Structure 1
Amino acid sequence: MQRGDEGEVMAAEPRRSVITSIATSATRRWQITLGFMVMLLIAGVSAYGFGLDREGFPPINTPIAIVTGTYFVDDADAVDAEVTVPLAEAFVGVPDVIEVQTQARPSSFLVFVEFESSVDSSIGTERLAALNIGLPPGAQADYRSVNAAKFIDSYDLLVSVVGPADASPEQLQQQASALAVYLDGIGDISEAVVRDLLTDSIDPDTGEEETRLTRFTRVALGPGDFREAIAVGVVRNDTSSLDVLGFTDLVQDLLDSADSPLADGFQAEITADFATGVRQQISSLTRNLLSGLLAVAAVSLLLIGWRVAVLTAGFMALVLMGALVGLWAVGYTLNTITLFGLILTLGLLVDDAIVISESIDANRDEPDSSEEIKSVGVVRRAIDRVGAASFAGTLTTVVVFSPMLFIGGILGEFIRPIPATVMITLLLSFLFSVVFIPVIGRLFLLKGQKPNNPIIRAEKSVAAAAGRLAAYPSGNGPKGWLVGLLLAFFAFFAIGSGLGFAGGLGFSIFPQGKDSVGLSLSAEFPAGTTIDEAQAISAQIDEVVVEVLGEDLLRAQYARGNERLVQAFIDLTAIGSRPTKSPEFVEQIEERLVGIEGARVTIG
């Protein structure tokens, strides 16, 4: 209390919260605030246009080595006893090994080795291979490092060289070698490596040097048949300023250039890269943003008014611009993980906009009397009432995501950018909601009449009824207590039911999605299969893939192809552009492959 000049007692002005002070200060100085908004938009466009690098996956240390192989005995127990158990026992003693997991199948096996987080995958793989563990006759093992940001653990993209139908492996390899030399001369390219089809060796019977076909590569450059090809792995220079999109565009321009060294009848195409996936994800983000803007605008239009609808939709775009600037500032890139985080937040960042703008609209007739400007008084009153609650809601969500920042191991390496992206976006959403929305509210929202359509009146009636029900237990004696107990019972019943359903759900770190833009295919051949026989069987598999996928086959690339196994990447047309989803394609291909003998095929 304070005492005036005449001795009368006056009420002290209530102390305003920091949130209210920020909002009212921004509203009074609306010209400066709008200037900051314009600067933010420019920074966001800059971050999106050239500031943020586009990558397939962020740099991730994956301290994992994988050992796969075949042992055609048609007995999983024998594979386990004679191969996987001896391998696991030997690997456990390797320095820095944390865990060894094995999987034995009737004629094949997989050993998964995890190292300490400080160990690089390639170094760990070398340690395992250096043991030179003896395997039973007929068993073969392949040691592979893991690098999620590379193809075949080494390359940023793969270029395939194809020629006439009668082109020999020697001709393909000659053309690929010339192309590799051509690409090697570019500063942004660290190296271009030909994945040789032919290998020079010594015949053990005659002692003479001979050249043998030890690898085959097949590609599909679109809907149609697979073709014999040879792959060139291209690695981006560490000093290059190009992101994955720019690097792919550079290589494509080089392939299309008149300086290309390929002879007539031969052509080179990029058949495996991360740029295609990143572009599709950015397109998906754009579609989700537009869909979200339309949905939010429609709901706001019906329940609050058209001015709030416009304000909220614009706010979502503004927050995303701010999030891009935030990612740029902390050193992140636009990649598979951060794009997922941005898409995830689209449904969350609208909360602050709705709460603040609706409060401003609802308090337009009750401005704070301490403000000379009515619109500023409305903002002060509105933020006083909901600012703290809005901050608490945002902070709660941020706290929920924060433990994910401290997850260790390979899982933590993969998912850590998701909570970081979500937290940056949500915090910026709240900050912008108390800085920019009050200004737009003063200049735009409060200029019109308060909406009062039938839907809004019905909404208010329902809200009033819910409020009366919540207040009924207080001050209504035994009846109120009974209603309160029933409400509490219903709440606990809902919580218990939710926990019960949650307990029955399965757990998977990387669950199968409803759709994807690609498939992976592998085929294992029994011991004794020649490389010519493996090629013939692969051609049968390819026919099935082409027939099932049809026009939805974008391209395909063999990553590995020899007498033991085939591994292929298959890219599909964009999600939403085709009626058939990838799991359905998998089922159809598996059904058609049943009649093919001489290989065990896995597709996923």
Structure 2
Amino acid sequence: MKLVNTSVKRPVGVIMIVLAIIALGTVSLRNLNVDLFPKIDLPIAVVATSYQDAAPQEVENLISRPIESSVSSVEGIQTVQSQSQAGSSLVLMMFNNGTDLDQALLNVRESVDQVKGALPDGAGDPNIMRFSPDQLPVMWVGLTGDKAAQLTEVADDQIVPYFERQSGVASVTVEGAKEREIQIVLDKAKMQQYGVTAQTITQSLNSSNQSASVGTVEKGNKDLQLRVTGEFESIDDIKQTLVQTESDGTVHVDELGEVNDTHKESSGETLVNGESAVVLSIMKKTDANTVEVADNINESMADIEEELPADVQSDVIIDTSEYIKMSISSVVQNILIGGIISFLILLLFLKSIRATIVIGLSIPIAIISTFTLMYFTGETLNVLSLGGLALGLGMMVDSSIVILEHIYTYRQRGYSLVQSAIKGASELAPAVIASTTTTLVVFLPMVFVDGIASDMFTPLALAVSFSLIASLIAAVTLVPMLSSKLLAKATQESGRRYWFNRLLDRVNNGYRAVLKWVLGHRKTTVFGTIAIIAGSLALIPMIGASFIPSSDQGQLQVTVETEPGSSLAHTQEVTEQVSEKLEAYDDVMEMNYLNVGGGGAGMGMGSSGNQATYMLELIPASERSVSTNDVVKDISDDMASVAGAEISVMATDSATGTGDPIQISLKGPEHDVLRELAGEVTGAISEVKGVHNATSSAEEGVPQMSIEVDSEKAAMYGLTEQQITNQIQLQFTGQTAAQYREEGDEMDVTLMYPEDERSTISDVEGMTIQSESGAAVPLESLVTLEQIQGPVTLQRENQQPQVNVTSEIIDRDLGSIMGDVEQRLEQLNMPEGYSYEIGGQAQDMTDSFTDLSIALVFSIFLVYVVMAIQFENFLFPFIIMFSLPATIVGVLFGLFVTGLPLSIPAFIGIIMLAGIVVNNSIVLVDYINIVRRNGKARYEAILEAGPSRLRPILMTTLTTILAMVPLGLALGEGAEMQQPLAVTIIFGLTISSIFTLLLIPVVYTLFDDLAAKFKRRKKTES
């Protein structure tokens, strides 16, 4: 090949190109975006709408359903879901993969705008946004101190503006803040004495709190702007506001009630390590580097801490970049260990430091080139792309080994160094290109795989492909050039390592003897192989299946849910018991963050006083003797003794963001029936071993007091339903009357009644309504009061009522658990018109396995096509393909021995094996043909080709297998994702290599006999 000839004769040019690649790769590495996992394309749009003080049923009928109907016609929508709860509606649209979400959002906005006018008065403007995992915080920072108001002021005025100026930060949200409010606590007796209503007070406050431009006048040669300034400048201005009385007199606001400068009543509480706190959650920009953003925040914290008040402390609660750094570090460590192992294997076989360096240089060149290609293709540096480099490490030297072996051959025949390099590399360059191509083409069908499997493993496939392409180029340019300069003494035998040669001779002799036996017992060999393959299939039920392995990130979430309708104070009492239980885990826990009363918050949904959430950060896995799952089980057992609440414990895993492992969607026309079915399903699946924290989205009803206005009685007193509603709302919720500005801050001026007049049922029953004439009418004479159970949240999917039953899994694989769950579901008698669907990770697993199975079939076909082109023959590639069925023996045996289920990474490993295992067979069959063309009989040709090709086959196989051992052992943080892939390749390639060396020669003879018989028959017929 001209490329080989040029590289040998122009070594300076090759060296300069290599140096340029190293420089470019170094720059690319510094600029690569570092993250834990690749970006997952989740084409989801969200429409969030508020409807204050409306019940879930009203929200569903008046908000959710009209919006659902309007957006359902948007092109590309796969599913429309809605959640309606008191005061808010959330409509989620899931689009087909490949949908242009920017255009889809425009279409959604147009559809919502068309229906916006039909929404009821009081409904907020629909907020349309996209959902992305990038919107999740990368860091949580807690501020603790004695005064909550001071913490809020420090957060809002000092820290948030400073953090948001840091590079890569998109926004900072404050949780647990105390919002300042001016409260006017009204005195009913004085209001009645002066004949003043709340409406009159509101009008007076608004009219006294206005500034306006009223024109201009001339002053000399200038126009003078006339402006009436009437805004409140102090709290005293609010107190002294005049209110018109019924008798045309005036009275000050502070004579009608108490004016307090205080904070809004809190709907929740935030604690960090048991102390009251304000928590800042930091979100990065979409294209920002997670690690870089976290480093910037940590540096800025160090700078700003000097300016904080002495009694305010700041602590990092959760920093997602720490796990990313540890994971990346562990993968890099595995790459280094694998590289050292490969180097030692090469040194053992080649018996020459120089020769080993010639081949070993392919590894760093390939890795550095891969970083450059990753940068220009927009890939991130994550555990999967780095894992691809670690997995491809041993394969990077395969081409170089084959080239160097052939250069050795010419050198031993007496050719000069330069001639040996040119002839040896030129002759085998087409073969190594074809061999590498068979490994690369298996990744092409991944282009047609959709969903999470594609998003997660395309970067791995690209990393492996880039590294193999770079190593191939190095093999046909750099290796010949270095061989022509460095191998002068490399071919000389030395007595220092003869022990290994003698070992290889014994292995060769043993292999020759076994090869003679299998060639003499061809039927036994073939049927024995079939029996072994069939026997390995019996391991499938014992292996099980799962979606994607979870990684031990050391993060837990404990959810506490008291009875629906429970007060915040009661939930806080329960959390105190939970916190006491958690103290027993201080030795493995770094940080705990508690949010009480904010369980339903997020994306426009309201908070709930009966919910509390703990986020627990454990010490790194290397510093503790127990796994996160072990801690989950122990805490779950301990929480069983806490009465008065449902407590669920789960490990949080940001690997996929795919939701719950098990999700069962129940659908039908009536919410009440679905709620009952959900209870039956929850009970049924809870009995399945491995199901953990099975819960239903149809929570128990919240106790409600239904107030039904008698419109005829109300009309008798000149009252409307709206007027009665407003007065009840003022009594029990309060009413914003005006805005007060002070030093750039704006706060509400709120009218409310004393707490002892708005806290019990008797306060409702004894309430009076003021008519237009000023008469006080008892509420009970105008309405019917009834205590009922109201729903918490109403869900719909594709415009049909829906309830979800979800569950975590523990101690068993997802596939086995789902098999048992489906059996339980089939035993349930579903009413007519009601059905269920399996979703969550179980459905994603099924879809991904289906797509990957199709990809595997296409990969095998492409490998055959490449070999057919290489051999220019249809028969020899077919013979070589017989090395593939035996691979399943190694795969299943490896998964069984290591206790790993068949998962998406393991399936990717099987696809990769389709391109790897044939390489040894190609080398063997190709050499058998060469020997036969030289005049030897078939039997002698096989006995010569097998042992002579054993050495390069052992070299390439051992470097590939042993380089993956660190990943197969899951050493370090974040290695759980690559472990199934590495185990699959290690065991699959090992077993397949054995079958290749023994089975392929037998199959070769069988098909050769068949071809000869066919030729003889053809001659006879002619």
TM-score for the superposition, normalised by structure 1: 0.73
1:423-572 map, 5 Å: 423-448=465-490, 449-450=492-493, 452-463=497-508, 465-466=510-511, 470=515, 480=519, 482-498=520-536, 501=539, 505-513=543-551, 515-545=552-582, 547-548=584-585, 550=587, 552-557=588-593, 562=598, 563-572=609-618
Q: Which has the larger radius of gyration?
A: 2
RMSD over equivalenced CA pairs, Å: 4.4
2:149 aligned partner, one-letter code: E
2:563 aligned partner, one-letter code: P
2:369 aligned partner, one-letter code: G
Q: Is 1:149 matched with 2:134? A: yes
The structure-2 alpha-carbon separation of the partners of 1:401 and 1:202, relative to structure 1 and needing over 3 Å to count, comes to farther
The structure-2 alpha-carbon separation of the partners of 1:587 and 1:313, relative to structure 1 and needing over 3 Å to count, comes to farther
1:397 aligned partner, one-letter code: T
Q: Is 1:172 matched with 2:156? A: no
User: Residue 365 of structure 1: CA displacement?
Assistant: 0.8
Which whole-Å CA distance do the structure 2 matches of 1:30 and 1:283 have between them?
A: 35
Q: Partner residue of 1:14?
A: none
2:343/2:360 contact within 8 Å kept: yes
Partner secondary structure for residue 54 of structure 1: coil
User: Residue 268 of structure 1: CA displacement?
Assistant: 2.4
> 1:233-266 deviations in whole A, cap 9, x for unaligned?
334457x9x6322222222222111576521121
Q: Partner residue of 1:322?
A: 369
User: Residue 500 of structure 1: CA displacement?
Assistant: 5.1
1:540/1:596 contact within 8 Å kept: yes
Q: Is 1:351 matched with 2:398? A: yes
1:172 aligned partner, one-letter code: L
The structure-2 alpha-carbon separation of the partners of 1:316 and 1:185, relative to structure 1 and needing over 3 Å to count, comes to closer
The structure-2 alpha-carbon separation of the partners of 1:485 and 1:30, relative to structure 1 and needing over 3 Å to count, comes to farther
Q: Partner residue of 1:395?
A: 437
Stretch deviating more after TM superposition (169-178 or 438-447) = 438-447
User: Residue 555 of structure 1: CA displacement?
Assistant: 4.0
2:15 aligned partner, one-letter code: L
Q: How high is the sequence identity, in percent, across the aligned residues?
A: 19
2:502 aligned partner, one-letter code: R
Q: Is 1:303 matched with 2:285? A: no
Structure 1 unaligned spans of 5+: 1-17, 68-82, 103-109, 132-142, 220-224, 474-479
Q: Partner residue of 2:293?
A: 247
Which whole-Å CA distance do the structure 1 matches of 2:177 and 2:521 have between them?
A: 79
Q: Partner residue of 2:267?
A: 214
1:272/1:557 contact within 8 Å kept: no
The structure-2 alpha-carbon separation of the partners of 1:125 and 1:279, relative to structure 1 and needing over 3 Å to count, comes to farther
Q: Partner residue of 1:192?
A: 172
Q: Is 1:591 matched with 2:637? A: yes
1:16-35 map, 5 Å: 18=1, 21-35=2-16
Partner secondary structure for residue 599 of structure 1: strand
Which whole-Å CA distance do the structure 2 matches of 1:564 and 1:119 have between them?
A: 36
Which whole-Å CA distance do the structure 2 matches of 1:423 and 1:200 have between them?
A: 58
Q: Is 1:282 matched with 2:282? A: no
Which whole-Å CA distance do the structure 1 matches of 2:441 and 2:9 have between them?
A: 32
The structure-2 alpha-carbon separation of the partners of 1:602 and 1:585, relative to structure 1 and needing over 3 Å to count, comes to closer
2:328/2:382 contact within 8 Å kept: no
Q: 1:416 aligns with which of 458, 465, 470?
A: 458
> 1:391-432 deviations in whole A, cap 9, x for unaligned?
333222222222223322344333332222222222222222
The structure-2 alpha-carbon separation of the partners of 1:409 and 1:111, relative to structure 1 and needing over 3 Å to count, comes to farther
Aligned pair count?
526
1:65/1:124 contact within 8 Å kept: no
1:41-120 map, 5 Å: 41-48=22-29, 50-64=30-44, 94=72, 95=74, 96-99=76-79, 114-116=94-96, 117-119=99-101
User: Residue 162 of structure 1: CA displacement?
Assistant: 1.9
Partner secondary structure for residue 345 of structure 2: helix
2:141/2:315 contact within 8 Å kept: yes
Q: Partner residue of 2:662?
A: none
Q: 2:418 aligns with which of 376, 382, 385?
A: 376
Q: Is 1:406 matched with 2:448? A: yes
1:486 aligned partner, one-letter code: T
User: Residue 190 of structure 1: CA displacement?
Assistant: 3.9
User: Residue 32 of structure 1: CA displacement?
Assistant: 1.8
User: Residue 377 of structure 1: CA displacement?
Assistant: 2.8
The structure-2 alpha-carbon separation of the partners of 1:360 and 1:590, relative to structure 1 and needing over 3 Å to count, comes to farther
Partner secondary structure for residue 334 of structure 2: helix
Which whole-Å CA distance do the structure 1 matches of 2:45 and 2:432 have between them?
A: 47
Which whole-Å CA distance do the structure 2 matches of 1:545 and 1:254 have between them?
A: 32
Partner secondary structure for residue 489 of structure 1: helix
> 1:210-244 deviations in whole A, cap 9, x for unaligned?
7222233333xxxxx45432222334457x9x632
User: Residue 283 of structure 1: CA displacement?
Assistant: 0.7
User: Residue 309 of structure 1: CA displacement?
Assistant: 4.3
1:218/1:226 contact within 8 Å kept: yes
The structure-2 alpha-carbon separation of the partners of 1:446 and 1:279, relative to structure 1 and needing over 3 Å to count, comes to farther
2:434 aligned partner, one-letter code: A
The structure-2 alpha-carbon separation of the partners of 1:417 and 1:169, relative to structure 1 and needing over 3 Å to count, comes to same
Partner secondary structure for residue 270 of structure 1: strand
Structure 2 unaligned spans of 5+: 48-59, 83-89, 117-127, 187-197, 199-258, 599-608, 652-1022
Q: Partner residue of 1:232?
A: 280
The structure-2 alpha-carbon separation of the partners of 1:315 and 1:336, relative to structure 1 and needing over 3 Å to count, comes to same
Which whole-Å CA distance do the structure 2 matches of 1:150 and 1:57 have between them?
A: 15
Q: 1:294 aligns with which of 335, 340, 345?
A: 340
Q: Partner residue of 1:271?
A: 317
1:528 aligned partner, one-letter code: G
